[in-house]
């Protein structure tokens, strides 16, 4: 059996085959472009995710730094208030000392680890105040401007220093 095809039908089939091949080739090109676009979108998504992780980490660090700095600020404000209160207390103590003893020519300043602790009219009062804060009886170092102690002030637990009143000497 021999199939007989007309030339017109054969030409029509060939044209349809060419159109189908052209459509298939275009579909393959479109698929390749879509795959390329998909790969580029995946790469962009990975980069965005990495950037988001870095930004989250930076935000966490910034929040921790902000909390630490806020704590330091609170501490510094409290220290500033204490310093102001200390100066006011010292002025009051000096006024009181001057009123109590007009003939006193000096006051005794009590230092604790190199920092001003209190001011007293007598050496005994300074020793009593230090002992009330827990200083042992034998922990006294007396220094004068002409004879400073051999150790740095911060290493000396308690020091009583006489300070002249009413003028420079």
Q: How confident is the model at residue 21, as a pLDDT?
A: 96
Q: Rounded to whole angstroms, how far apart are CA atoms 121 and 99?
A: 11
pLDDT tens column, 2-48: 666 688 888 898 999 999 999 999 999 999 999 999 999 999 999 99
- The answer to whether 127 and 111 have CB atoms below 8 angstroms apart is no
Q: Rounded to whole angstroms, how far apart are CA atoms 114 and 155?
A: 7
User: Would the CA dihedral through 122, 126, 127, 128 be positive or negative?
Assistant: positive
Instruction: Write down the residue that tokens 């006051």 correspond to.
Output: 107
Q: How confident is the model at residue 77, as a pLDDT?
A: 81
Q: How confident is the model at residue 74, as a pLDDT?
A: 86
Instruction: Give the residues of the chain that fall short of pLDDT 70.
Output: 1-5, 101-104, 138-154, 167-169
Tokens linked to 161:
């220093």
User: What pTM was computed for the model?
Assistant: 0.36
- The answer to whether 132 and 126 have CB atoms below 8 angstroms apart is no
The Cβ of residue 86 has, within 10 Å, a number of other Cβ atoms equal to: 14
Q: How confident is the model at residue 89, as a pLDDT?
A: 83
Q: Rounded to whole angstroms, how far apart are CA atoms 133 and 83?
A: 19
Q: How confident is the model at residue 5, as a pLDDT?
A: 66
Structure letter (DSSP) for residue 156: -
Largest CA distance in the chain: 148
Q: How confident is the model at residue 146, as a pLDDT?
A: 43
Q: How confident is the model at residue 6, as a pLDDT?
A: 84
- The answer to whether 93 and 86 have CB atoms below 8 angstroms apart is no
């Amino acid at each position: 059996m021999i199939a007989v095809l007309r030339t017109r039908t054969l030409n029509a089939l060939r044209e349809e085959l060419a159109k189908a091949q052209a459509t298939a080739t275009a579909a393959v090109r479109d698929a390749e472009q879509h795959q390329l676009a998909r790969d580029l979108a995946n790469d962009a998504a990975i980069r965005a995710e990495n950037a988001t992780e870095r930004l989250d980490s930076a935000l966490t660090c910034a929040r921790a730094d902000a909390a630490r700095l806020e704590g330091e600020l609170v501490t510094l404000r409290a220290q500033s208030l204490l310093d102001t209160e200390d100066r006011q207390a010292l002025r009051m103590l000096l006024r009181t000392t001057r009123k109590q003893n007009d003939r006193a020519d000096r006051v005794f300043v009590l230092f604790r680890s190199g920092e001003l602790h209190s001011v007293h009219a007598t050496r005994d009062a300074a020793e009593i105040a230090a002992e009330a804060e827990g200083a042992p009886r034998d922990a006294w170092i007396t220094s004068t401007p002409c004879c400073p102690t051999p150790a740095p002030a911060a290493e000396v637990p308690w020091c009583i220093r006489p300070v002249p009143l009413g003028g420079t000497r």
